[in-house]
Amino acid sequence: MNYLTYLPVWDKLNKSQQDTLKNSAVKRKFKKTEILHNESADCTGLILVISGQLRAFTISDDGREITMYRLFERDICLFSASCIMNSIQFDITIAAEKDSEVLVIPSEVYKSIMEVSAPLANYTNEVMASRFSDVMWLIDQVMWKSFDKRLAEFILNESNIEGTDILKITHETIGNHLGNPREVVTRMLKYFVNERLILLSRGTIEIIDKVGLEKITE
């Protein structure tokens, strides 16, 4: 199985470029919680997810983490290969959230093809723009508007009020309480699900990590 066909532009590469990628890419397995790439590592290579789930995050000086984005099957991570571009002047850490299998493409190989292939360069642009959008959303909602705090507080309050960890409430109602559109509530609740703080099912929100929610409100 050639997992490189997961690249949407695979068919737009010529035979020689395809062969170069095939001969250099290496399959690797990572256990849940294992670190694939850390901030100090220079250039691990591009990571193409075959199966499992990865998390990209930064770590503060005092050890706090913040999730920038997640990577699922067929997703590719550029920032584990920051040396492919001079202008990538930041570092992230990537860890396996589930047992994962990935394909690592050496940075210099990818770079050499990207420099001559408009399709690969444009695909790389789209990947970066997509991550950029994730991060802008994070700035907007989590950091700047502190909507995460307000939502966590609201959930904890409701739980206290109702005397249960399973809340029967719609996203729309929460939005009305907090003055935010329903979609914003839904997106942040999904973020909480990813952070394993709550579970969502039709019409209910179940708190599974009260301490985690309380930490957010601090």
Residues that bind its own copies (CB under 8 A): 58, 60-61, 64, 66, 85-90, 114-118, 121-122, 124-133, 135-140, 143-145
We find the least distance from the C-beta atom of residue 134 to its own copies, in angstroms, to be 9
Cβ nearer to its own copies, comparing 15 with 61: 61
We find the least distance from the C-beta atom of residue 72 to its own copies, in angstroms, to be 16
**Tokens matching residue 88:** 């990538």
We find the least distance from the C-beta atom of residue 195 to its own copies, in angstroms, to be 16
We find the least distance from the C-beta atom of residue 52 to its own copies, in angstroms, to be 23
**Tokens matching residue 21:** 């990628």
We find the least distance from the C-beta atom of residue 18 to its own copies, in angstroms, to be 17
We find the least distance from the C-beta atom of residue 62 to its own copies, in angstroms, to be 9
* Beta bridge pairs of residue 120: none
Cβ nearer to its own copies, comparing 26 with 139: 139
Amino acid at 113: I
Spatial distance between the Cα atoms of 120 and 129, rounded to a whole number of angstroms:
14
Phi and psi based region of residue 71 (left: phi greater than 0; alpha: psi -120 to 50; beta: remaining):
beta
Integer-rounded Cα Rg, in Å, for the chain is 20
Cβ nearer to its own copies, comparing 23 with 89: 89
What string of H, E and C letters represents the secondary structure of 125-166? Answer: HHHHHHHHHHHHHHHHHHHHCCHHHHHHHHHHHHHHHHCCCE
Amino acid at 27: K
The DSSP 8-state label assigned to residue 98 in this structure reads S
The DSSP 8-state label assigned to residue 63 in this structure reads S
Cβ nearer to its own copies, comparing 163 with 179: 179
We find the least distance from the C-beta atom of residue 190 to its own copies, in angstroms, to be 15
Cβ nearer to its own copies, comparing 26 with 132: 132
Check: CB of residue 69 under 8 Å from CB of residue 80. Answer: no
Check: CB of residue 140 under 8 Å from CB of residue 70. Answer: no
Cβ nearer to its own copies, comparing 165 with 195: 195
**Tokens matching residue 212:** 């985690």
